[in-house]
Amino acid sequence: MAGRGRKTARAKVSPKAKATSAVKKRMRRAPLRRVVDPLVPIRDSRAPNTSAFKPPTRVPAGLERLDLNARKRLVTRLIPLPQPLPPEDILRALRALDPAVMRFHGIKIPLYWFPGPLIWSPCADKYGYMFSASVRNASKLPFTVAMEAALNQLGGMMADPGRDTGPDSTIPAGYTYFGQFVDHDITFDTSSSIDSPQDANTITNMRRPSLDLDNVYGRGPALDPYLYRFPSGGMQPTAVKMQLGKNRPTGIGGPLTAAGGAATPTNFDVPRVLAGDDTTVSAADSTFIAIIGDPRNDENLIVSQFHHAMLKFHNRVVDLLITAAFPGDIFSEAKKIVTQHYQWAVVNDFLTRICGPAAVSNALASVVAAVGSPFRMPVEFAVAAYRFGHSMIRNGYTLNSFLPSSASTLKGVFDFIRPPLLPVFSNWCVDFNMFFVTAHPGAAFNNARKIDSVLANGLEALPGGSGIMAVLAARNLRRGLAMGLPSGQAVANNFGVPALTATQLKAGLPPDEVALLDANPILLSQTPLWYYVLREAMVLNAGDQLGPVGARIVAETFVRILKRDADSFLNVPGGFTPSLPSSNPGTFTIADLLEFSGVLMQ
């Protein structure tokens, strides 16, 4: 046979074909291996690992591969000294942080949930007292079971639905919620208790005690960039604006147009955590949590809408500087302009209206506080006098010209800021012309209730369950008891003003409340400071303004806050005069702020 005993000639094989054949052999040996480009050489898996990182000797178990006992053993190794579960009262309070509830009044949050330096640092902000220990000890109520019971009963009577008062005050209702916004700028108590005596000096204030709008700006664009919209393209890189939200389109609402017509608001909300695509929001996957500097400013619809106005206020000032070709740092200058005009409005509009011009002038003249001087937020202010606003809340509000008043109850004001009724419905957007005296009067107007020792019965229906109205009043009284606040009479004597008599304190009260006070005469001689401030306002000023004790505590606290702040409008070299457009040149009101923000018209 031809060719027997001869070697058969082999065809020449190219290097490319050899590489392909080698790859195919490896794939046959390891059929589950990832398929790769056959032209790319693959290092043999048996080649030695010459790197500094050695492969694990075994595959670590994922959580899903650990049974219950294994998980318990792992947790024991991870946490040899576990943090105990918070007490039941704190656990109940934490449930109020759920976006569906979002209630902050009276809640307690474990301090270890916050960054440590905010708590233990010598520079941490604390609460304190305005009056000396001797004044407090000589006049405070005894912390006894009987006194707790009496204050609980008094708080229940203050919240009795049958006590709902008649005529409103002369104060526009917007000042109630502006006051709440300001409070969230300077105080946040997350840890005090009403169940045992407390020393205010040991309680951390989780807000900087400065009117610096940290509830809007947070820690600034570098550390809280999610609050901001950064310039793009060829824009000046310091022209940083605040993020805004969008409304759910549900019909006409909000303020009128410049021509006096109706419109559907589209961007009258704060930014929120939303899930979905570019055109559709997935309600099931969205938390709707507000992306703002203080979550309390999303607690009710009115304060949330005011926060939205403050975001637009900053953005309008940025636009002003851009269009004026300002050559410097736009963000820092806009923030300064916004903050100082806001501070001016706090003193010359809000405080003047609530405390009276004389109390504000006296505070500006008498309070001495060097820049950077030590300061502790006085609980006579935070726990008593400044809580006057609780009595100003109405049972319902006319929110705009289109939403029926029957729908916009106080319950609605709190419901329509919670999932699933978010983002803010366009027909529920607030027309602030109905809350402040502006150049665009609306079809209706909301005045606040009188400052008095009675709360709106609409508070009974707020998120968090029934009874909150009584709880709010009783908690305010008992918090003052726990803090060892001086009595209203002691503060009046210290200020050199006549103290209310027992007859004045009882004037106009229902018989059952008078009977309670008579049965506990100590409440008429060492009256809880919050209750005293409310009664003083009603008896001496018909509920339209704080009385001399409440006004002085509030005005002096704000003036001290501002005088010790090097950046405040009170410390501008040569003095500060508002420069933004206003209804009266040389001054600036909250209505002027809203006008410049562009939220009084669509």
CATH number for the domain harbouring residue 564: 1.10.640.10
Number of domains in the chain: 1
Tens-digit pLDDT profile for residues 584-597: 999 999 999 999 99
272 touches 291 (CB < 8 A): yes
Whole-model pTM over 0.85? no
Q: Is residue 195 part of a domain?
A: yes
Domain of 369 in residue numbering reads as 92-602
Residue 290: strand, helix, or coil: strand
Comparing CA positions, the residue from 452, 236, 234 lying closest to residue 332 is 236
The per-residue pLDDT for range 472-494, each reduced to its tens digit, is 899 999 999 999 999 999 999 99
For a pLDDT cut of 90, what percent of the chain falls above it?
A: 65
Model confidence at 321: pLDDT above 90: yes
Confidence bin at 281 (pLDDT 50/70/90): confident
Is 246 a member of any domain? yes
Q: Is there a domain that residue 426 lies in?
A: yes
Contact 400, 429 (CB under 8 A): yes
Give 163's pLDDT tier (boundaries 50, 70, 90): confident
Whether the pLDDT of residue 131 is over 70: the answer is yes
pLDDT band at residue 104 using 50, 70 and 90 as cut-offs: low
Burial letters for 545-567: b for 16+ Cβ neighbours within 10 Å, e otherwise? bbbbbbbbbbbbbbbbbbbbbeb
Is 9 a member of any domain?
no
Structure tokens at 300: 């009710």
Angle at 524 between CA 522 and CA 525, to 5 degrees: 65
CA angle 354, 334, 579 (to 5 degrees): 60
310 belongs to a structural domain: yes
Q: Is residue 391 part of a domain?
A: yes
- What is the Cα–Cα distance from 506 to 528, expressed in whole angstroms? 14
In percent, the amount of the chain with pLDDT more than 70 equals: 80
Is the pLDDT at 41 greater than 70, yes or no?
no
Is it the case that residue 318 has pLDDT exceeding 50? yes
pLDDT tens digits along 560-583: 999 999 999 999 999 999 999 999
Does residue 60 have a pLDDT over 80? no
Alpha helices (H) in 114-144, listed in sequence order: 117-120, 133-139
Q: What pLDDT shows up at residue 422?
A: 94
> Is 85 inside a domain boundary?
no
Which has more confidence, 271 or 26? 271
User: Residue 89 CB: number of other CB atoms within 10 A?
Assistant: 14
- The answer to whether 355 touches 105, Cβ cutoff 8 Å, is no
CA neighbor of 458 nearest in space, from 421, 420, 412, 401:
412
In a domain, 100, yes or no: yes
pLDDT tens digits, 24-35: 555 455 444 444
Report pLDDT digits (tens) over 359-397. Answer: 999 999 999 999 999 999 999 999 999 999 999 999 899
Residue 220 confidence (pLDDT) above 50: yes
Q: Which residues contact 446 (CB under 8 A, 6 or more apart)?
A: 172, 173, 174, 394, 397, 398, 434, 435
